[in-house]
Chain A
């Protein structure tokens, strides 16, 4: 089955700096890669996603890049703010025939924004 590795497990950055979280996946058939943000005691919420036919996607301060050859993808957050503090999860899944599939998650990155 799919295996997703995520690094680092904890990331501390100064407010206003950029943060980068990296993930690798094992199954070359995976073609959908979402990122979820989870605040303490809350549900995971999608912040951005990318499909395998796209190399990069951006949404305001958040961007995701995908390298299919190397089987890795990254989350970039620029101009970090205190409200960005949370645990971030990368995930991978395979969508065959237009349907859905369960997500395989990385272990998470605890992002701490220092004031």
Chain B
């Protein structure tokens, strides 16, 4: 298996622009998680899905952030409009919750810089 795949790996944009981050989970995994990592706040859970349904979005910082999972093999995290404080590394992770240990496998991350 190729693991969790995220794109793009790096994104540089200007304040006010829309940013879309993409994630393909490991095939057969029924949970998908979005995390954000910064020096100040560490690794934070933003939102997670089970069987494509959002379960907990309490970590989404503002209405500017939205996430979707239209099918079992694809999810997006969108920021509109972007702000410099959104600069961070965004990780997607997936796990097989049922009968599993909730081992979460992380993608390589998207490093976002908002100028």
Contacts and interface: CB of A to CB of B under 8 A. Distances in A.
Interface in B44-77: 44-45, 48, 50, 56, 58-59
A8 to B, nearest CB: 15
Given A32-B102, A34-B102, A101-B56, 11 more contacts: A42-B108, A43-B107, A49-B103, A51-B101, A93-B102, A99-B98, A102-B48, A102-B59, A103-B43, A104-B45, A106-B42
B100 interface: yes
5 contacts: A100-B95, A102-B33, A102-B45, A103-B33, A103-B43
Contacts of A104: 45
Interface of A: 1, 32, 34, 42-46, 49, 51, 89, 93, 95, 98-108
Contacts, number: 63
A100 B91 contact: no
Residue picked from B35, B101, B105, most chain A C-beta under 10 Å: B101
A44 B36 CA distance: 12
Nearest to A42: B108
A103 B105 CA distance: 12
B99 to A, nearest CB: 7
B106 A89 contact: no
